[in-house]
Amino acid sequence: MIKKIANALKNSKRVGIIAHVSPDSDCLGCMTALSCILKQLGKTADMFVDVSKMPQNSDYYGLTEDISDDIDINKYDTLVAVDVPTYKLLGKHCNTFKDFDNTISIDHHLIRDLSAKMVYVDANMSSCSEIMFQLFKQMNVEITSRVASLLFTGIIGDTNCFQNDNTNANTYKTAGELFEMGADTKNIIFEFFKKQSLEEVRLREFAYEKMVVENDIAYTIITLKMQKHSNTDNTGNLVNELLNINDNKFAFVIKQKEKNTYSVSLRSKLGYNVAEIALKFGGGGHEQASGFTFVGSPVKIARQIFDECMKQIGVKGNV
């Protein structure tokens, strides 16, 4: 199927590329890398994400506010969804993608309901960026240092810098090849995992003040008031920092997005599965990194998530 998708993209002329809502670095890396490759081939390639504000690191990816535009289906002969496992994650573009005739889905999530005319899913890949690298090889196109860098951001994002259990030999091999192609690996790791602004430090201070650590589970709730006082909504790698405290097995961060709307980022150590937890709340992701959004009480949801984590810890403890 990957060969068919490669040929279909080479034969297309006008492509709309759609990312999932709240796009992470894997999704953004795939989307922008594919856009670069298609433009190299002389094709129109426009990017779309259902966002109310620009994603984190949008400057690095060269994104502009027109990514939030509606899709004019008359402008395209092909629509491609990258790193999108469910219709819900397409946001406002859901029906457009459903009703369009010529669609392609490229993904690495095992649990999914998104269908398309052509679908390629490889759940053994660490990231969609890893799949995209294989696709570009099938297309027999030049992978520039810029494209290599974009894909590298996706790989380190979804593997938590090669620390999650979705990291395998092929992940390292792909990363090595991207390095040889000119990926700016050192600066990318610094920008995406180490660099932090003073505003981000202040927000994390607020978050740590509200942190709860109990039974190897750590979590915190970040309100709009906290974001306003620190002048940022970027939590950086806070959820991973919580996971790394002592012998924590689970960590999650609940962040207020609007008056009654919250997003949740979940992380777990090897042997535990936050994707199962996220699925129960209408979300999804990977075993060690997942998330979901909800409307309601953050305190109530925090307790429910905590209880789900405890169930897994109890099962493991009884084995």
Separation between Cα atoms, residue 289 and residue 268, nearest integer Å: 7
In the predicted model, is pLDDT for residue 33 greater than 90?
Answer: yes
At 315, the pLDDT band (50, 70, 90 cuts) reads: low
Bridging pattern class, strands 261-268 and 250-256:
antiparallel
Separation between Cα atoms, residue 136 and residue 157, nearest integer Å: 20
The residue with tokens 């915190």 is 220
- The secondary structure of residue 167, as a DSSP letter, is -
In the predicted model, is pLDDT for residue 76 greater than 60?
Answer: yes
- Could you tell me if 154 and 19 are in contact, meaning their C-beta atoms sit under 8 angstroms apart? no
Q: What is the mean pLDDT of the chain?
A: 91
Tokens representing residue 86 in the block: 């469910």
pLDDT reported for residue 66: 81
Region 64-74: what's the mean pLDDT? Answer: 87
Which of 150-159, 210-219, 244-253, 286-295 is predicted least confidently?
286-295
- Could you tell me if 138 and 153 are in contact, meaning their C-beta atoms sit under 8 angstroms apart? no
Query: How many CA atoms does the CB half-sphere of 82 hold within 13 Å?
Result: 33
At 191, the pLDDT band (50, 70, 90 cuts) reads: confident
User: Across 70-74, 150-154, 314-318, which has the greatest mean pLDDT?
Assistant: 150-154
In the predicted model, is pLDDT for residue 187 greater than 50?
Answer: yes
- The secondary structure of residue 215, as a DSSP letter, is T
In the predicted model, is pLDDT for residue 189 greater than 70?
Answer: yes
In the predicted model, is pLDDT for residue 318 greater than 50?
Answer: no
Task: Give every CB contact of residue 312 below 8 A, 6+ residues apart in sequence.
Answer: 249, 250, 272, 273, 276, 277
pLDDT digits 0-9 by tens, 96-128? 999 999 999 999 987 788 889 999 999 889 999
CB atoms within 10 A of CB 222: 23
Domain architecture of the chain: domains with CATH: 2-193 (3.90.1640.10), 198-318 (3.10.310.30)
DSSP letter string over 237-301? THHHHHHTSTT-SEEEEEEE-SSSEEEEEEEE-TT--HHHHHHHTT-EE-SSEEEEEEES-HHHH
With pLDDT > 90 as the criterion, what percentage of the chain qualifies?
A: 71
With pLDDT > 70 as the criterion, what percentage of the chain qualifies?
A: 98
Residue type for position 144:
T
In the predicted model, is pLDDT for residue 307 greater than 90?
Answer: yes
CB atoms within 10 A of CB 216: 17
In this structure, the chain runs to a length of 319
Q: Which strand (E) or helix (H) includes residue 213?
A: strand 212-214
Tokens representing residue 62 in the block: 């060269």
Residue type for position 126:
S
At 55, the pLDDT band (50, 70, 90 cuts) reads: confident
Q: Which strand (E) or helix (H) includes residue 212?
A: strand 212-214
Region 177-201: what's the mean pLDDT? Answer: 92
Closest CA to 76 of 18, 142, 141: 18
In the predicted model, is pLDDT for residue 161 greater than 80?
Answer: yes
pLDDT reported for residue 319: 37
Separation between Cα atoms, residue 182 and residue 139, nearest integer Å: 19
Of residues 51 and 8, more confidence is placed in 8
DSSP letter string over 91-126? GGGHHHHHH-SSEEEEE--SS-----SEEEE-TTSS
Separation between Cα atoms, residue 158 and residue 296, nearest integer Å: 28
Region 76-101: what's the mean pLDDT? Answer: 93
Residue type for position 282:
G
